Chains A and B, each alone.
Chain A
Amino acid sequence: MFKEGMLELVGTGFVETLYMTLASTIFAYIIGLPLGLLLVVTDKDGIKPVPWLNAVLGTIINIVRSIPFLILLVALMPFTKAVVGTVIGAKATIVGLLVAAAPFVARMVESSLKEVEKGVIEAAQSMGASPFQIMTKVLLPEAKPSLLVGGAIAITTILGYSAMAGFVGGGGLGAIAINYGYYRGQQDIMYMMVILLVVIVQVFQELGMKISKRTDRRL
């Protein structure tokens, strides 16, 4: 069923997909984690309420999140070209992925941090903790299990997006599925890619949940 070189192609696609997904997840968290923290801290019930900043951030995040991913990817092309020098391939896709994923990550982080009991924060305040200390020593460590679950959801969502990027010249398994399976009508290849993607999602999801559970001290 496979021609020569197919296995190599799939191998490259697999590595590319992992590379895109992991790299953009890391970048998305570098931007999204502080954003999520800022959303929680500047909330009107937060430890340092700044209503205007909260509203501005919230609006920007909502706008980016409401643009369909493929359109965002196309709209970003000039920016992508300026940053990485090309609009096709895995590297270019990472730029689009992280812009799309960062606001999503920010919301995930926000919801995780909001699970931290208000009383614990109040206790820290009563001990004279500064807002920064509350962020780094209370909010983040206490929300860790929930943040890890969020991380698993984020990484699998980003993986799905990376496959979509195949339509506009992105690399990885998605591109193979579209180029060989869809445009050339080789259905077996398409199914194989889909199965591979499903397996990767399963692995990431399970791993995330397991680590979260193992490190959660409330159980």
Chain B
Amino acid sequence: MEKETMIRLEGIKKRFKTKAGELEVLHGVSADIKKGEVFGIIGLSGAGKSTLVRCINLLERPTGGKVWLDGVELTALNDKNLREQRRHMGMIFQQFHLLMQKTALENVCFPLMISGVPKAQAKERAKELLELVGLADRMESYPAQLSGGQKQRVAIARALATEPKVLLCDEATSALDPNTTAGVLKLLKDINERLGITIVVITHEMSVIQEICDRVAIIDGGLIAEEGTVEEIFRNPKTKIGQELVLHEGTNREAYTGRLPYCYRLVFKGGSENEPVLGQMMIETKGVANILAANTRTIDEQAYGQMVLQFPEEKELRNTMIKYLTDRGVVVEEVEYV
């Protein structure tokens, strides 16, 4: 069954005036983000993803196109009504952006106070939220006394205070170390599942997408290059940028100089029954492959492995090897590995 749309972007364009003239960062981006899903937007730096997320709550007003939130066209609203609608969208940032002169509790109270909730009631709600994000014992701490992960948890609690329909996350884990990142991502997934809040995740890290997203859009040069479920994109990225993001994740790009010939990317379902496939293939076809990169990922509770192999030069042998693998359910595709 088709899920209802929460956020609809239609032909979003954004042009900035710079000293060197006009610069168009987004060239017409369209996307449908469904209710209750975790939607990822991934791209390299400069691809326009941060501008795109700012166009969703109109912190940046698009120079072209339309934005809908749950059936309301935001781009058609006046300032006052837009502020009203913004209360349905929480946002968290890479650098947290907490009020430095206020305690954690006061920070979470802030969005409630500005929407006119009485102080006592705001405090109650803020306490609940801080408990939800696991900071019950740090309510009276000031941001300067908190670690990065704790600050982001305060920011999440603050973003959830007005009971939004949507949570926008702009590189929310990019300033955190891997352990803290895992904790914050788990919290976000939890919030999505327990409260049913639609989450939009902006990131440059494929691992973040694989960790929590249901669907993903890859943005490159101000346009969406490809879009699909995380599994589809991971198994079979169609565009060059998609391959680059999936392939280089967690591998050492500097280790290889120049383009290597006959490189193939293998994706296989993890688990013990599949493990000997590669070894069997080498024994039976007598073709030897050179492992360039390998890792495993859990997507939707299913383990996937990916490998980048360099195959031998003889075409016939290569084809035999590829056939052997594809016959056993392994996805094989030729890639440019630089």
Q: Do A and B bind each other?
A: yes
What is the CA–CA distance of A179 and B89 in the complex, to the nearest angstrom? Answer: 68
Specify which chain B residues have a CB less than 8 angstroms from the CB of A133 in the assembled complex.
114
> Is A142 in contact with B57, judged by CB distance below 8 angstroms?
no
- With a cutoff of 8 Å between Cβ atoms, the chain A residues found around residue B237 in the complex are none
Interface size in chain B (residues, C-beta < 8 A): 30
Q: Could you tell me if A119 and B93 are in contact, using CB atoms closer than 8 angstroms?
A: yes
Q: How far, in whole Å, are A117 and B91 apart by their CA atoms in the complex? A: 17
Asked if A128 meets B83 with Cβ closer than 8 Å, knowing A123-B97, A142-B100, the reply is yes
Taking CB atoms and an 8 Å cut-off, the chain A residues in 192-219 that contact chain B are: 216-219
User: In this assembly, does B72 line the interface, its C-beta being within 8 Å of a C-beta of chain A?
Assistant: no
Given A217-B102, A218-B144, A119 contacting B95 (CB threshold 8 A): yes
Are A126 and B91 in contact, with the CB atoms below 8 A?
A: yes
Contacting residue for B101 out of A122, A127, A217, CB 8 A: A217
Chain A, interface size: which category?
A: 20 to 34
B241 at the interface (CB under 8 A from A): no
| Contact (Cβ within 8 A) A120 B97 | yes
Residues of B within 8 A of A141 (CB): 99, 101-102
Report the Cα distance A219→B145, complex, angstroms. Answer: 8
Nearest B residue (CB) for A133: B114
B86 in contact (CB, < 8 A): yes
Interface string of B109-129 (1 = CB under 8 A from A): 011011100000000000000
A142-B101 in contact given A128-B84, A128-B87 (Cβ < 8 Å): yes
Bound CA–CA A154/B101 (angstroms): 23
Q: Does A61 contact B (CB under 8 A)?
A: no
Tell me how far the C-beta of B80 lies from the nearest C-beta in chain A, rounded to whole angstroms.
Answer: 8
In the complex, what residues of B have CB within 8 A of residue A186's CB? none
Q: Say whether B99 contacts A120, CB under 8 Å.
A: yes
Answer whether residue B156 sits at the interface, using C-beta atoms and an 8 A cutoff. Answer: no
**CB<8 Å pairs between A and B, sample of 14:** A120-B97, A123-B97, A124-B110, A126-B168, A127-B90, A128-B85, A128-B111, A128-B114, A130-B83, A137-B110, A141-B101, A141-B102, A145-B101, A219-B144
